[in-house]
Structure 1
Amino acid sequence: MNQQYKRYSQNSVTINIALFSILLVLSLAVSAQREIDDLKPTVLLISIDGFRADYFEIHKPFTLNELARNGVRAKWMKPPYPTKTFPAHYTIATGLYPDNHGMVENNMFDVERNAVFGLSDRNAVQDPLWWGGEPIWNTVQKQGQIAASFFWPGTETAIGGMQPKYWKQYDGNVSNTERVDTLLSWLDLPQAERPTILTIYFSDVDDAGHGFGPDSPETKAAVIAIDQMIKRLMDGLSLRGIADKVNIIITSDHGMAPYRMRDAIVLDEMFDTNDAERIFWVGEFTQIFPKPGREDVIYRAIKAKLPKNAFIYRRHEFPRRFKFGKNKRIAPLVVIPTEGTVITTRQRFERAEREGRLDAVRGAHGYDNDLVSMRATFVGHGPRFKRNFISEPFESVDVYELICRILEIRPSKNDGKFKRIRSVLR
């Protein structure tokens, strides 16, 4: 045997041994994953923030479309008004409209408490006095089951003195992989410690939609990236032998509409802002809290100058179909634009002009919840759901009742109607 061939043979043996070792480790890892054979009725509630109902066709996520084809997909799901992240998520969780659960916007002012809420204010988010109603995780645990959440608005708050047994404080820097793998690890717990309702939240699609618009390559990339996370989750369930035993509900909170800053409505030039105690300059839902005696002055000034693609409402004057306008946390005056534009200030408009962003397409939500662009998503997959079924639209307020039926628990008082959503079940 020549030395060159000998060295080649020795190298081949070494490579083969290394490959065998790798395969053995992988095999042991797979075999170490215990199949779950004692699963109780279980719901995985997944939120893909900002996933518009037509993204299935526009951006073609493979795994999500497969789950929809093999389960139930609603033509669309109607979010509550305003179509904002915290109000819409908490409506799904409680089955209550924002007027009734109190989370009326991502930014709020409670006059009676002289307190401000902002979704990025950790102290406010963790203050239970902002959160009304009974969320699904409390309903579950009050009736002897266990809840877990890797992010969902309200879960890091002791609402009614209770939180999910397993929960995480929101941190947008936590990878989606860690979120999925932690969720799977909770399912690996012994039955006595295992949750029967688990929530998980992904923000990437909403982030891309805001930054680049709903039809952009960036939003498509975000949809595909989240689709890969759903595949990772399904692969993990398959490894545990429960892919067809867990009831999976995939939702979104709202849709997304494109706009350009050039089309924005400059509101602060239409009235004397010194007449207001406080203004929340939210592009799709600008709230004005007038100083005493100045409400009518502000209202008349804006009403006289506001273009036709925007409206000003007093708190109790919103259209009845919004089911919105009773809660005292809503500002006395609210200015809302129509789809395709936003409310802004002269300073913000000029900053966008200096930075060359006036014609850049971006995305926004918060608009009229009857708009096609605001339609949310619903997919149901698992033993309780029909297969290959497309349901008529229903409201996100109905999801709470649906989860209670699947988990065989009594729902708390809510605004949902099970008859609107019952067709998705076998």
Structure 2
Amino acid sequence: MKRGVQFLLLIFSLAVFAQKETVDTAQVVIPNRYNSVEAQTKPYVIMISTDGFRYDYAKKYNAENLLKFSNEGVQAKAMIPSYPSITFPNHWSLITGLYPSHHGLIDNSFYDYKRKERYAMTNSKNVEDGSWYGGIPLWSLAEKQNVISASLQWVGSASDASDTRPTYYYHYHKEFSPLQKIDKVISWLSIPEEKRPHFISLYFPEVDYNGHHFGPDAPQTENAVHVIDQAIGELVKRVNDLGLKDVNFIFVSDHGMTKIGNDNRIDIPEILLNKGDVDYYNSQTLLRVHVKDPKKVKTIYRELKAEKNVNYQVYLTKKFPTYLHFSTKDDHYNRIGHILLVPDPGKTFLDKDEKSPSGNHGYDPAIVQDMKSTFFAWGPKFKKELVIDEFPNVDIYPLVAKILNLKMISPVDGDLQRLVKILK
């Protein structure tokens, strides 16, 4: 009996080991790419995203390095995420300059009725399939103009969106620590000039993870902020040690985080559970409804409005507030749905047996201040000791294009005029 148990434990251990071995942590390098002679004289931009890093976290948790660098350079009072204020849509907005409804990544998970296929952020096949993504990401814009780029796990960076991946990239996994990611960036900047990336995008998930699991005021979230702050301090120090000229840093986040109380639950309306002529898609802070027969949209809308529930608002998508850029006329890929159910701040739609998070995001940043994100920038191209007002995150795209002197080859929603004042 004892030997049998030992044998089973051995088999289990080998299975676990084998699973770990399947994680692909290798760098992918696209061969035969080189910086043009002109590109070798361009500045460097290192664009860092820390998921869920709320606009006030640096001060709230005394992130010494980020406060020092932002005080010496440029800091925004806050940055306004695109709606809905969730991870995949906003990372793609930051990197393409387009609102989610315009680039097609309208949620972390959604169904495309034309393709008859679901996209999910947990599906690596989806995530690396560029046909899901609209717009021209900054790394593609750079590569198309003979400027080498690199990306470390930014949303969509392993995909062939716009037919062009970064020269250097990694498949998404959770194996690298923040300091190991810094090592990767330094290794890129140590490559000979003809193949050295001038645009680098870098992603950290730790703050968002802890904000969801423990809440924005928890010591675990504070610790995660300090871990990232230390990594940024190490990055800047090691970049300075390389002696490169004109290295510019942009630190951003995709959204903020708000505390969720114990009485936050909203059950999915029975109408949606019991009707066979609708599909619904729940991201907790937004519930999207697709009506299979368009002739029934108004009827189902009226039934939902008649529900006596004071915890959410019901909208026809075609009449959704214009300033959120999420109405039917904005829906370039026809993925949003016909009806939107928007929970009140702090409330969440939860499916049966679904556990409530301690912190969440996705709400309208004009209503929930905690949704607002962070923007800091420092380096030779930026003015010093400058504080600016809030601005939409789609403006980052034309800003980076300006610094790298890249020609914009497709219209975007971002406006450089709101940020040109921060450049020397």
What is the TM-score normalised by the length of structure 1?
Answer: 0.85
- In structure 1, how many angstroms separate the alpha carbons of the residues matched to 2:120 and 2:257? 21
* Alignment-derived partner of residue 143 in structure 1: 145
Per-residue deviation, residues 103-139 of structure 1 (Å, max 9, x unmatched): 1111111111111011111111122221011111111
SS of structure 2 residue aligned to 1:260:
coil
Which of 389, 392, 403 is 1:392 aligned to? 389
* Alignment-derived partner of residue 381 in structure 1: 378
Structure-to-structure mapping, 1:40-55, within 5 angstroms: 40-55=42-57
* Alignment-derived partner of residue 238 in structure 2: 236
| One-letter amino acid of the structure 2 residue matched with residue 369 of structure 1 | P
* Alignment-derived partner of residue 25 in structure 1: none
Structure-to-structure mapping, 1:195-206, within 5 angstroms: 195-206=197-208
* Alignment-derived partner of residue 102 in structure 1: 104
Query: Paired residues, what number?
Result: 378
Per-residue deviation, residues 178-198 of structure 1 (Å, max 9, x unmatched): 211101100000000001100
- In structure 2, how many angstroms separate the alpha carbons of the residues matched to 1:261 and 1:114? 37
Per-residue deviation, residues 13-43 of structure 1 (Å, max 9, x unmatched): xxxxxxxxxxxxxxxxxxxxxxxxx874010
Q: Does 1:418 align with 2:416?
A: yes
SS of structure 1 residue aligned to 2:263:
helix
Query: By how many angstroms is 1:282 displaced?
Result: 1.5
* Alignment-derived partner of residue 405 in structure 1: 402
- In structure 1, how many angstroms separate the alpha carbons of the residues matched to 2:160 and 2:176? 22
SS of structure 1 residue aligned to 2:187:
helix
- In structure 2, how many angstroms separate the alpha carbons of the residues matched to 1:173 and 1:299? 45
Structure-to-structure mapping, 1:99-138, within 5 angstroms: 99-138=101-140
| One-letter amino acid of the structure 2 residue matched with residue 141 of structure 1 | E
| One-letter amino acid of the structure 1 residue matched with residue 213 of structure 2 | G
- In structure 2, how many angstroms separate the alpha carbons of the residues matched to 1:117 and 1:181? 32
SS of structure 2 residue aligned to 1:90:
helix
Unaligned runs of at least 5 residues, structure 1? 1-37
Q: CA RMSD in A?
A: 1.7
Query: By how many angstroms is 1:410 displaced?
Result: 1.1
Asked if the contact 1:391/1:423 (under 8 Å) is kept, the reply is no
- In structure 1, how many angstroms separate the alpha carbons of the residues matched to 2:377 and 2:61? 20
Structure-to-structure mapping, 1:10-409, within 5 angstroms: 40-242=42-244, 245-292=246-293, 294-325=296-327, 326-327=330-331, 328-345=334-351, 347-348=352-353, 352=355, 362-370=358-366, 371-409=368-406
Asked if the contact 1:275/1:298 (under 8 Å) is kept, the reply is no
SS of structure 2 residue aligned to 1:160:
helix
- In structure 2, how many angstroms separate the alpha carbons of the residues matched to 1:174 and 1:414? 33
Percent identity, please.
34
Asked if the contact 2:137/2:162 (under 8 Å) is kept, the reply is no
Asked if the contact 2:272/2:279 (under 8 Å) is kept, the reply is no
Query: By how many angstroms is 1:392 displaced?
Result: 1.6
- In structure 2, how many angstroms separate the alpha carbons of the residues matched to 1:67 and 1:276? 54
Asked if the contact 2:96/2:412 (under 8 Å) is kept, the reply is yes
Asked if the contact 1:276/1:288 (under 8 Å) is kept, the reply is no
SS of structure 2 residue aligned to 1:68:
helix
- In structure 1, how many angstroms separate the alpha carbons of the residues matched to 2:173 and 2:299? 43
Shift in CA distance, 340/71, structure 1 to aligned 2, threshold 3 Å: same
Query: By how many angstroms is 1:333 displaced?
Result: 1.9
Q: Which has the larger radius of gyration?
A: 1
- In structure 2, how many angstroms separate the alpha carbons of the residues matched to 1:422 and 1:46? 20
